[in-house]
Amino acid sequence: DAMVIQNPRYQVTQFGKPVTLSCSQTLNHNVMYWYQQKSSQAPKLLFHYYDKDFNNEADTPDNFQSRRPNTSFCFLDIRSPGLGDAAMYLCATSRDPSGSFYNEQFFGPGTRLTVL
Amino acid sequence: SQQGEEDPQALSIQEGENATMNCSYKTSINNLQWYRQNSGRGLVHLILIRSNEREKHSGRLRVTLDTSKKSSSLLITASRAADTASYFCATDLNRDDKIIFGKGTRLHILP
C-alpha cells in the first residue's frame, strides 16, 4: 500500500545533541511537510517542500533544518535540541495541489521526540 | 497565526448518540478539511468541502460550510467507541500548497 513512513517512531536525544528524523513516501507526491505537535495542541507547520522548492514558515526557529534529497525522502534536522523541542513530529505529503487535486494531506504516524 | 478554532474543546457522549463539532475561521478559503487523530498517531483525512459547497456527506459524517459566517460543522451520527479521537478542521488560506489546523476537539465516546 502507498504510504508515508516515519522513522524512528520514538527518538530520545540529549539536550544540545543533534538529531535527524526521517520521512519517506511511496505516493510520489510533489509536496512534503513537517509539522510539530505538542501535547493537546494543533499541528504547527514548520516548513514544506514543493518539489525541490523549500518554504520555511516565518516563525520556525533556525534550529530546525530540512533536506529533501529526492522525491521520496525528506529529513528534519534539529541542530541543538532544547527541552522545548520535545514533541511529536509529523510528516505529511500532498499531490500537486494545482489544478483539481486540492490539498488533502496524507500523514505518517509521527516521531515522538524526547529531549533529556 | 491561528486560522481555525474548534468548539467545544472536549466532548463526551454516549455510544450511539450524535456528536457535533464546530469550526470557525478568519479569512476567505478555497476549501475546508476535517481530520481525525487517534491518540499518539498521525492525522487521517476525513472529508473536504469546497467553498462553493454547503453540505457534504461521507458515511456517518456530515459536514456543513457557511462561508458568510466563516464556520463549519462536523456531525458524526450513531457514534461508536472507535470514534474516540481528536478532530481538527484545516483551512487553506486561499493557497494551494499549505493548510492551517485549528486547535481541535477531543471527542470521547462512552460505552
The Cβ of residue A40 has, within 10 Å, a number of other Cβ atoms equal to 11
- Tell me which residues of chain A, numbers 76 to 105, contact chain B at a CB-CB cutoff of 8 Å: 88, 90, 92, 94, 97-98, 102-105
With a pLDDT cut of 90, the percent of chain B lying above it is 74
What distance in Å separates the CA atoms of residue B111 and residue A62, rounded to the nearest whole number?
A: 46
With a pLDDT cut of 90, the percent of chain A lying above it is 87
Per residue in A2-25, pLDDT (tens digit) is 699 999 999 999 999 999 999 999
For B95, the grid coordinates are 493557497
Q: Is the pLDDT assigned to residue B1 strictly greater than 80?
A: no
Greatest alpha-carbon pair distance for chain A in Å reads 46
Instruction: Find the residue in B nearest to A88 (Cα).
Output: B40
DSSP-derived secondary structure letter, B99: -
Chain B touched by A25 (CB under 8 Å): no
Region A86-108 average pLDDT:
83
Q: Is the pLDDT assigned to residue A34 strictly greater than 90?
A: yes
What distance in Å separates the CA atoms of residue B65 and residue B16, rounded to the nearest whole number?
A: 25
What distance in Å separates the CA atoms of residue A69 and residue A97, rounded to the nearest whole number?
A: 21
> B50: distance to nearest CA of chain A, Å?
9
